[in-house]
Homo-oligomer: A and B are copies of this chain.
Amino acid sequence: MSKQEKRLSFASDYMRGAHPDILRRLEESNLEKVSGYGRDGITETARDRIRSVCGSPDAMVEFLVGGTQANAVVIGAFLRPYQGVIAAVTGHVSGHEAGAIEAGGHKVLALPQVDGKLQADTVRGFLQDFYGDENHEHMVMPGMVYISQPTESGTLYSKSEIVALRKVCDDYKIPLYLDGARLAYALACPSNDVSLPDIAKLCDVFYIGGTKCGLLFGEAVVIPDAKAVDGFFTMIKQHGALLAKGWLLGLQFDELFRGGLYGRIGETAIKAAERLRGALTEKGYRLCFNSPTNQVFCVMENKALEKIAEKVEYGFWEKFDDEHTVVRFATDWYTTDEEIDALISVL
């Protein structure tokens, strides 16, 4: 019994297992016994590597299994019960987490976005209006700003944009949270100017995604000022997000940050995406959202799509008009030239 799917697939970047180097590490120590819940030596080493690569020596680093739970735990830990989280209306927490944030009691305060990005001015205007409303104590207090890098649309915040958001957050004394589910693919973009240390300096909390970036699964939550939050370990447990075999996460992240693997993973996917974008443009397709990352969005004729769907699995994004659809092709840390060639040949 194989798990192979017949068609070529570019539907997402979480369709393969783990980078072979990661799997090799798991095999090496598979039968050794290690203490549970991330309180082991290898996980501690992974924490140190992340602190080091982020230039954030005192950071709290905790490893969780997935993104939705990382968002729910972080937001639940940072907010007071009468507060909500500001996010772009297209943000992952706004619409695609089945109400995980609301299940924790918090409203997502969804604001308009541009290219998937929350603009500092939009946030500031919202906060001004909120505090300018004499009834604001009857409303959910904005208690955090949530962004993701790259965004749901594959776009990137520039450093100056994040600095501007940081300024708003400082002015209103609310934390800034960056969801880095696909952060490796942002960092590897030639046009990116935001480094991990920048993020650690500008954000109160962020996570470095592993599930979509070469690991079997796992996300590393980083809180540069460890004192910014309390009871975080118990919050993880309460959310059902504490892996008994925590070292499974620690060991994967240790490998990811041991010898440059994290960087190579990003580069592989970005190069593949760039080749694909070049080919699409050459063939006259219209690209969308100006994404420089591993997600390639383009407009396709519905009729053409029917034929393409026979040979390649893509991601449906949204209706463009009655005769066109926006689709997504995602590359990953293993996408080969052959795969891209095969895809191009059917488009």
> Which A residues contact B (CB, under 8 angstroms)?
1-5, 9, 11-12, 14-18, 20, 23, 26-37, 40-42, 45, 65-73, 76-77, 80-84, 95-100, 102-108, 134-135, 137-141, 211-212, 216-217, 230-231, 233-235, 237-245, 247-248, 250-251, 254, 258, 313, 316, 334
Q: Is the CB of A100 within 8 A of B40?
A: no
Bound CA–CA A175/B17 (angstroms) = 37
Bound CA–CA A3/B249 (angstroms) = 12
User: Nearest-CB distance from A161 to chain B (Å)?
Assistant: 26
User: Nearest-CB distance from A24 to chain B (Å)?
Assistant: 9
From B76, B97, B237, B242, A237 is in contact (CB under 8 Å) with B97
Question: Main secondary structure on chain A at its contact with chain B?
Answer: loop
Identical chains in the assembly: 4
Q: Is the CB of B17 within 8 A of A2?
A: no
Q: Show 9 A/B contacts (Cβ-Cβ < 8 Å), sorted by A.
A: A3-B32, A23-B30, A66-B242, A84-B99, A97-B238, A98-B139, A98-B237, A99-B140, A102-B106
Q: Is the CB of A34 within 8 A of B5?
A: yes
Q: Is the CB of B237 within 8 A of A137?
A: yes
Q: Is the CB of A4 within 8 A of B23?
A: no
User: Nearest-CB distance from A80 to chain B (Å)?
Assistant: 6
From B31, B84, B239, A102 is in contact (CB under 8 Å) with B84
